[in-house]
Structures are given as C-alpha cells and as structure tokens.
C-alpha cells in the first residue's frame, strides 16, 4: 500500500477514552499515529504472505478464532472504528452502540475466504480510513462523543484503531505463527 497521507494528530488524553482502550492507545509510541496507520496493511500482508490457505483455519486453542477469523475481526473493527470517527467528527452526539465481536465472527464466513481476499478488504478499508483521518483537523480531533456507553474523542478512536491492529498483529505473531 503506497498511500501516504500525513497529518499530525496529538495523542489523546486518558480522559478521552475508557480505561479499557488504554491497551490499544498505549501501543502507539508517540504522536505519529499516521505512520502506524500507513504501515499496518503492508505489515499484515507480509506476516501472512508465506502461509498456505489451509493454515487459515488454524486456531491456537479451543474456542479461539482461526487466523482467517482474526483477519475478519480486524476488518470489522476497522469499519466500526471508522464509523465512530465519522459520526463523532461530524458532530453527531447520538450515542453509538457497542457490538458483540464473537457474534460478528460467527456469521462472517471468514474461513471460506482466501487470505488474499481478506487482506485486500482490510487494505481497501484502511485506505479509505487514511483519507478520512488525514482530513481531520486538531479541533475536530478533540470532539467527544459516546460509543459503547463511554465518552470517546475522535483522536482517541484513531489511536484505538491503530492500536487494535497492532495488538492483534502481536497475537498473530506470538500465538499463531510463533
């Protein structure tokens, strides 16, 4: 992916997101979230590049997602975080409901898809989200809304989006491929 859009987005204050999301926000080292967002699709593709398709149905433990389900979860998360960013950045104060990730995976049919298909979808989603985020100015980035019953800012959601992928890429490397 060669799309490089850049706008500095300052790190969110801890008051801009629920403590649960610190797991993701803390994975982004500095105010350069755009670098992480730009690099993740290619990194994800590189991490999967040499896997045979049948490895996609591997889960490291009973009840855990397969590799392809994990990729589908990243796609779902990408869409949901972008939707939240869009709504809040446009000044929509309507609370945004949460979602049950396991229910989404149960109906995703991810294991019937190819790695290429899943990775292409993630990459397309990310490209669109990079354009969305790169056009958000600092004042808009500070706008607050409610998602999953908790206050959250646009910039926090942007860091959460990047940190969420980084978190799952580490799990992929450690538990599925390591």
Full set of structural domains in the chain with CATH? 14-50+66-177 (1.20.120.450)
79/77 Cα distance (integer angstroms): 5
State phi, psi for 26 to the nearest 5 degrees.
-65, -15
| Average pLDDT across the chain, whole number | 95
Q: Number of C-alpha atoms within 13 angstroms, CB side, residue 64?
A: 15
| Angle at the Cα of 46 from the Cα atoms of 43 and 49, rounded to 5 degrees | 150
Look at 17 and 8; give whichever has higher pLDDT. 17
- Residue 147 pairs in a beta bridge with 96, 150
Q: What's the pLDDT at 128?
A: 97
Angle between helices 115-134 and 67-89 (to 10 degrees): 20
* pLDDT tens by residue, 9-41: 999 999 999 999 999 999 998 888 999 999 999
């Amino acid at each position: 992916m060669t799309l490089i859009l850049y706008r500095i987005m300052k790190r969110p204050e801890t008051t801009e997101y629920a403590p649960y999301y610190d797991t993701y926000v803390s994975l982004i080292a500095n105010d350069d979230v755009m670098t992480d967002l730009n690099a993740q699709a290619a990194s994800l593709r590189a991490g999967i590049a040499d896997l045979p398709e049948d490895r996609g149905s591997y889960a490291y433990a009973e009840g855990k997602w397969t590799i392809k389900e994990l990729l589908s979860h990243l796609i779902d998360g990408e869409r949901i975080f972008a939707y939240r960013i869009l709504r809040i950045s446009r000044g929509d104060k309507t609370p945004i409901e949460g979602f049950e990730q396991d229910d989404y995976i149960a109906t995703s049919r991810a294991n019937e898809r190819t790695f290429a298909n899943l990775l292409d979808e993630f990459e397309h989603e990310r490209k669109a989200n990079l354009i969305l985020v790169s056009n958000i100015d600092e004042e808009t980035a500070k706008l607050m809304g409610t998602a999953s019953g908790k206050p959250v800012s646009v910039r926090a959601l942007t860091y959460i989006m990047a940190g969420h992928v980084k978190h799952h890429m580490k799990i992929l490397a450690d538990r599925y491929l390591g």
